[in-house]
Amino acid sequence: MLLNCNDYRREAKKCLPRMVYDFIDGGADAEDCLRRNTDDLARVTLLPRCLRDVTLVETSLTLFGQVWKSPIALAPTGFNGLLRPDADIALARAAAQAGNPFVVSTAANVRLERIAAESNGIRWLQLYVMGSRQIAEQIMRRARNCGYSALVLTVDVAVGGNRERDTRNGLKMPFKPSLRTLLDFSLHPTWALRFLGQGAPKFANLENLDETEQSPELAHALGNRQMDRSVAWDNLKWLREHWHGPLLLKGILHPEDARRAVEAGVDGLIVSNHGGRQLDLVPSTIQALPGVLSAVANAIPVLVDGGFRRGGDVAKALALGAKAVLLGRPVLWGLAVAGEQGVRTILETFNAELLQAMTLLGATRLHELNAGNLATSKC
């Protein structure tokens, strides 16, 4: 019986080839940061308030003028097409049905326009900047034209993290499977049969609107996380010329960067260490969150990702001061096991767990989760 996202994680390990499972499950170097994300969250505990009328508990959130069912969004995850064809469509549809936003990655394997046409929920665009800025400008223009409402610039990938699981499995671009990998694929026939006639997933949004062939150099750069290292604070002005909606920075950990983002007119921050997949030396996101919040001083909303495995974990982040939480691996485990339905189940479970946690904590609205609920001041 699959009751929570960790159950789905175990099932995903069974149904995916090792290379694919390790790609979504692994972290950088010794994976200490990956473990800190979950371990530090587990050390945060909350104090309930009793004898409160919790007949009606409301989990909805309004952010940038849009209403979310709960303070949970799907984090941008790339190369989802490794799990199953049209994975990005399944994620978008499941998010829309659950009432939670979906942040579409530059490294999606389905075109932005098709995701928009086949789902009707809240969609944000996550942006990587590689090589020629014209590619980024084209992607922003296309996203704007088909209704993506916010832009998320990832700022922690000047160079790719040392993901040893991927190296051991030979996962790099261009991909050339070894005999061992092909054997592993054959041992997972249900996964392999989904790809008959499909071909290998491509980075669909590196192609032009006329669907001319994508640049091999750009595909190589994106697949191996080789980004434009010259992107700096001054480039936010360039982004503003091409994106007039909300702009968020993802990958903020340092309070000084948070202060500078506010001064630069950024609309929101996402405290993130890339799921422990970039620099293994950094703190967990729940540990970094208080410093960023203090630096921002309520000027702009602060979101957070990394290590969230229960709806109760979401309550912890909100009590610390975060506005919302982004989920990465949990929804991918659901996707791997049961496709769109698996993602819906994961989101429904998180939403139900958050509702239960709020009820037992005596909070009827999200803003009632605050520092007064913290039994531990820090992790």
HEC string for the chain = CCCCHHHHHHHHHHHCCHHHHHHHHCCCCCCHHHHHHHHHHHHCCECCCCCCCCCCCCCCEEECCEEECCCEEECCCCCHHHCCCCHHHHHHHHHHHHCCCEEECCCCCCCHHHHHHCCCCCEEEEECCCCCHHHHHHHHHHHHHCCCCCEEEECCCCCCCCCHHHHHCCCCCCCCCCHHHHHHHHCCHHHHHCCCCCCCCCCHHHCCCCCCCCCHHHHHHHHCCCCCCCCCCCHHHHHHHHCCCCEEEEEECCHHHHHHHHHCCCCEEEECCHHHCCCCCCCCHHHHHHHHHHHHCCCCCEEEECCCCCHHHHHHHHHHCCCEEEECHHHHHHHHHHHHHHHHHHHHHHHHHHHHHHHHHCCCCHHHCCHHHECCCCC
Average pLDDT over residues 84-91: 97
Q: Which of 220, 242, 244, 274 is catalytic?
A: 274
Mean pLDDT of the chain: 93
CATH of 5-373, one of 3.40.30.10, 3.30.360.10, 3.20.20.70, 3.40.50.300: 3.20.20.70
Q: Is the pLDDT of residue 208 over 90?
A: no
Q: Does the active-site annotation cover 244?
A: no
**Confidence label for 234 from pLDDT (cuts 50, 70 and 90):** very high
**Confidence label for 378 from pLDDT (cuts 50, 70 and 90):** low
pTM summary value: 0.94
Q: Is the pLDDT of residue 54 over 50?
A: yes
Q: Is the pLDDT of residue 215 over 70?
A: no
Average pLDDT over residues 226-247: 90
Q: Is the pLDDT of residue 212 over 60?
A: no
The pLDDT > 70 percentage for the chain reads 93
Q: Given this model, what pLDDT does residue 133 score?
A: 85
